[in-house]
Structure formats: C-alpha cells, structure tokens
Amino acid sequence: MAHRPKVEGVHFYIAGAAKSGIAAAKILKKHGANVFVTEENLISKNIENELISQKIPYEYGFHSIEKIKNNCDILVLSPGIPLNKEISITCKKNNIPIVSEIEVASWFLPENCIIVGITGTNGKSTTTHYAAQLFERAEYKSISCGNIGTSMSQAIYDNQSIEILSVELSSYQLETTYSMRPMCTVFLNLQNDHLGRYENIEEYIKAKWRLILLTHDSGIAIIDKNVIKTAVNMGLSLPRARIILIESSNQKQFDNILNTPIKARREYDIRNQISFGKILPYAIYHDLKKLPVSELMSENEFESAYAKYDNKDNSIHIFLKLKNSTKTWEIRNPCIPGEHNMINILCASIMAMHLGIDDNIILSQWELETSEYTHLQHRLEYISPKFKTFIDSNGNEKEILIINDSKSTNVESTLVALKSFQRPMHLLLGGMPKGDNYLPIGLFFRQYLSKIYPFGKASENIQHDLKAYKNKISPSSENMLAAADLALNEANDGDIILLSPACSSFDEFRNFEHRGNVFREWAFSCLKENKK
C-alpha cells in the first residue's frame, strides 16, 4: 500500500463532475479534506443531487480560475481535461500540483490490497474484466475498475474489504498518477489512437509507459515485445520489476510505428525520477535499471510468453519461459472467441500465476466447458447466447446472431472484432470520426464480411475510404438504428449483425455504453419472442 498522505484541511479542487470526479470528491471528503467540484459544462440533476446530499460545494458552466489560484492546494484533474487547458496551465504557473483520480484512490487503498494495472490501445477492458473474474474464481475478493465501469475511487469507497483491484488505465489517467504501485502491470499493444490529444505518438507512448515505471519492484511487467522495442528505441526507462515479454504468432509488427525513426542508443543512463510537486504531502523517487540498449534488447534479459492460435479448430498453444520454470499449455476451446483474446487472457493468466493462483484454476477458467466467465458488456457481447429468430421491418423472420461491440472506437479494434467470427457479417460502422482510415476494413470482404452500413458523421469518410468496395457499402444512414434496420432487412439465416463502429459515440450518444444500450434495446425489440 502506498504511503497515505494526510489530507485533513487540504483544499482540493476537483475539475470534472463525471463519475470519477465525484468519487474522488467523496473519498477525499470522507478523510477530512476540503473539496470543491468545478465543471465547465452543465451537470445532470442526479449528479447535482448527489453533491448536495454529500454536502460538497460545486459550480458548473465555467471554472473559477481566480478561486483556483487563491484557494486550491491540489487539483484533481478529470482524464477528459488535457494538460494544455487553461485550468491546468493556471495550476502549473502557480505551483499547484495536479493529480488524477487514480492517484487519489491510491492513497486510500485497503490494507494489503493488491493492484494489477492494464493499459494498451486495444484489449484493456477484456483483460481487466477477465482478470477480476479469474481472481474471484480463486476466492479473492476482486473487482474491475478504472477506465471500465466503476472508478477506482468508488471501488475503494464501497469495498474496504477488497483484496485485488483489477484496474484499466488510459493514457489520460496515467499522465498525473504517481504513487500507485501495482504488483502486476500489462502493456498489451500500441496503435495510433488519441493523437488529437497528443502532439505525436511518442507523447502517447510516454503517457502509457508510466504504468510500467510504476510497477512494484517485486512485481511483474508484462509487455508486448514490439512495444518494448519501441520504448527502448525512444530511450524510455525500465522498471526494477521482472519483465515478461508477450508475443503472438498472429500479431502484426509495429517496429515502424513512430512517425520518425529513432535510432537505438547503444548506451545511456536509464534513470527516472518521479516527483509530483513540492507542496504535496510527500514526493516519490523511483530508481530504475541502468543497462546498455544492446543488453536490454537481448531476449535473454527477459522472461517470455509465446502464444499460437489455430484457426482450424479454435485451439490455443502457449509456451511460457519464466524465471524458475518453463510451461506449455493447450486450450482446446477458449471461453472467449478470437485470436486477439488469446493475448488478453494470457496476460490475465500470467498475473494470476504471479499472485500464486493454481494452474488448474487458470486453465479451467480459460476452457469454455469449465469456465465461469461472463462476457463484458459492449465488447463482442452476444445479444443472445445462440441463434434466435428476429423479425425485420418488413415482417420477415431471420435466424441470426446480433453482436454488440459498441466499445470499438477505432479501426484497429473493429479489425479485431472482424477476425472473431467465421460467418457472413453485416457491419454497422460509424459515429463521430477520429481521423482513422477505414480502408483496412475492406480487406475483410475477401473473408466473411458481407456488407457495411455507414451511419452518423463518419459516413462520408467511410464512403470515401472504401469507395473501391462501393457495391458492398450500403447508402449512408443518418443514425445507428436506421443502419441497424437496413442490416436486419438484408441479413439471411445464419448471418451476424455486428455493431463495431470504429468511431466515438458523441455525435449521437453520451458515450459508448449509451450507444451499446440503445443497440441492445433495438435488438430485443426485434426478437420474435418479444413481438406481440
């Protein structure tokens, strides 16, 4: 557990009145801090009522910059507010420390509570969710939180008896997190995402790499092999923790992911100092390894996990080369489909091994027949567990599957979804564009993708990028449900309708959860058994 600072009487301003900000305000107030919530936008009646019931003062519609300058000791910054916004710059100029909600939560961990932290561009939620359920199966009190569902502060506020927190962490949350010390960390993969927030991909990588540097000295850092190559070439530091490289026989190479190539320096001092402000209750310094790059890039320096997915029979073969042993695992019928999930589950399984969970529990959770895993909402979520009869807008009956993958907010995530099924697919694609090129999706027309139904503000971009496949692209729909109706009308028995938008949701919905819930409600309304 991190050293717990004394917050009694300290004036905290909470910038952002979303669920993580409210939870941070509540847990700080519980421990005697003076808190004030400031929200630039309007707030819902429910949030306002909660703030009133908690007797937490607040403002909305603006940030009182002068109040912050004069009254704020520490700013708790919402992950949605960049560090180049006026409120952040004001704090920097006035030597007011800026911390994340994750940082605040780390101060109030229950005694002996273990943290495992997961980051990456894609797969974070599945890995986090699966890990928490695996720990539960091993009879630990565990919960998934962070950038998935429940905020970390709320999880701790509600569960003082919790034993393991499985925490999904975005780059935004990691920017201002300092004292969390996870026993296990995972960096799954790296794609061009959120580059509207960062000047370049290197800054994005640096933000995510902070999780690896925060790993507890006696813990493990599980890192994609191509990610660590990129990190070392950038001159980023390594933790004292054991490093386990993960590699898949099916994964792409990302050696050239940087906008401009950076030559590996043959020798340099790898040290990192983490400090978060002179007036915080304490500062943190983290000594790191000092090794030449040639040694860092030697595979002998690291333990490793290699995974191979067999498309013919859906089986998985794992080879583990660990500190004190080597192991081979074979999973005949995994509980979550798709080769991408092989790596997600493997990372969760390695964390479980490090925490002393028996191999038999790990493998039984992975195998479909013995697994107790329940799927994550909005990530390859089956609306029904098997084919059911749906009725289209013309009154025709269709025996199909409908899959909710609303959490897919970039092209790479949608490509992963398309690899997961071997049946004709009708893809609902659209929303608020994020600057991705949609052309790679067209390659799946050679496999099981039947047709794409563009919708929302991204429709024009989708039609442009996929013009080579115009015969397989439906006319654009104004909204998601109009596209869904079109897809259902054109689907045949045995087909799949897949919502995997590859876009953010904000042109039509509050967030991806809202989008997924609306889609699920539509699907249920089309079920024959629900028709009167």
Query: Where along the chain do its domains lie?
Result: 11-99, 105-263+337-366, 381-530
Q: Is 125 annotated as a binding residue?
A: yes
Q: Among 308, 387, 306, 374, which Cα is nearest to 336's?
A: 374
Helices 45-53 & 19-30 angle (0-180, nearest 10) = 0
The answer to whether the 11-99 and 105-263+337-366 domains have the same CATH topology is no
User: Is the CB of residue 175 less than 8 Å from the CB of residue 83?
Assistant: yes
Residue 242: helix, strand or coil by DSSP? strand
DSSP element (H, E) containing 49: helix 45-53
Using CA atoms, how far apart are residues 118 and 147, in angstroms rounded to an integer? 10
- Name the class of domain 105-263+337-366: alpha beta
C-alpha to C-alpha distances, 169 to 26, 92, 122, 172, 210, nearest whole angstrom: 21, 24, 11, 8, 10
| Other CB atoms within 10 Å distance of the CB of residue 41 | 10
Measured between alpha carbons, how far is 529 from 532 in angstroms, rounded to an integer? 8
Q: What's the confidence (pLDDT) of residue 251?
A: 53
- pLDDT for 532 equals 65
Length of the chain, in residues: 532
* Residue 126 is labelled as binding a ligand: yes
Q: Which fold has domain 381-530?
A: Protein-Tyrosine Phosphatase; Chain A (3.90.190)
The predicted structure's pLDDT at residue 232: 86
Query: What number of helices (H) and strands (E) belong to the chain?
Result: 18, 20
Task: Give the separation between CA 421 and CA 58, rounded to whole angstroms.
Answer: 48
Structure tokens at 480: 């998601």
pLDDT tens series, the chain, 532 aa: 456 788 999 999 999 999 999 999 999 999 999 999 999 999 999 999 999 999 999 999 999 999 999 999 999 999 989 888 999 999 999 999 999 999 999 999 999 999 999 999 888 999 999 999 999 999 999 999 999 889 999 999 999 999 999 999 999 999 999 999 999 999 999 876 656 677 788 888 888 999 999 999 999 999 999 899 888 888 888 888 999 999 876 554 333 333 333 333 222 232 333 333 333 332 233 333 333 334 444 444 689 999 998 877 778 999 999 888 899 999 998 988 777 789 999 999 999 999 999 999 999 999 989 999 988 889 889 898 789 999 999 999 999 999 999 999 999 889 989 988 889 999 999 999 988 999 999 999 999 999 999 999 999 999 999 999 999 999 999 999 999 999 999 999 999 999 999 999 999 998 999 999 999 999 999 999 887 6
**Rounded distance, CA 445 to CA 486, Å?**
18
Q: What pLDDT sits at residue 250? A: 55
Angle between helices 124-137 and 359-366 (to 10 degrees): 130
Task: Report H helices in 109-200.
Answer: 124-137, 152-158, 171-174
Q: DSSP alpha helices (H): ranges in 60-177?
A: 65-71, 86-93, 101-107, 124-137, 152-158, 171-174
CA distance 455 to 477: 5
Kindly report the pTM of this predicted structure.
0.79
Task: Return the beta strands (E) in 356-503 as ranges.
Answer: 381-382, 388-391, 397-404, 425-430, 449-455, 496-499
Helix (H) or strand (E) holding 185: strand 184-187
Is the domain spanning 11-99 CATH 3.40.50.720? The answer is yes
Q: Give the distance between the most distant pair of CA atoms in the chain.
A: 73
Taking the C-alpha atoms of residue 21 and residue 94, their distance in angstroms, rounded to an integer, is 22
Question: Phi and psi of 462, rounded to 5°?
Answer: -65, -45
Q: In whole angstroms, give the CA distance from residue 251 to residue 237.
A: 25
* 120 assigned binding-site residue: yes
From the list 312, 348, 300, the residue with the least C-alpha distance to 134 is 348
394 is in an annotated binding site: no
CA 254 to chain centroid, in Å, comes to 19
- Name the DSSP class of 265: P
* 314 marked as part of a ligand binding site: no
Q: How far is CA 177 from CA 46, 146, 508, 530, in A?
A: 28, 12, 32, 47
Cβ–Cβ < 8 Å for 336, 421: no
Please give the Cα distance from 96 to 76 (Å, whole number). 10
- Residue 205 phi/psi, 5-degree rounding, is -65, -45
Q: Give the 3-state secondary structure percentages of the chain, helix then strand then coil, rounded to 5.
A: 35, 20, 45
121 is in an annotated binding site: yes
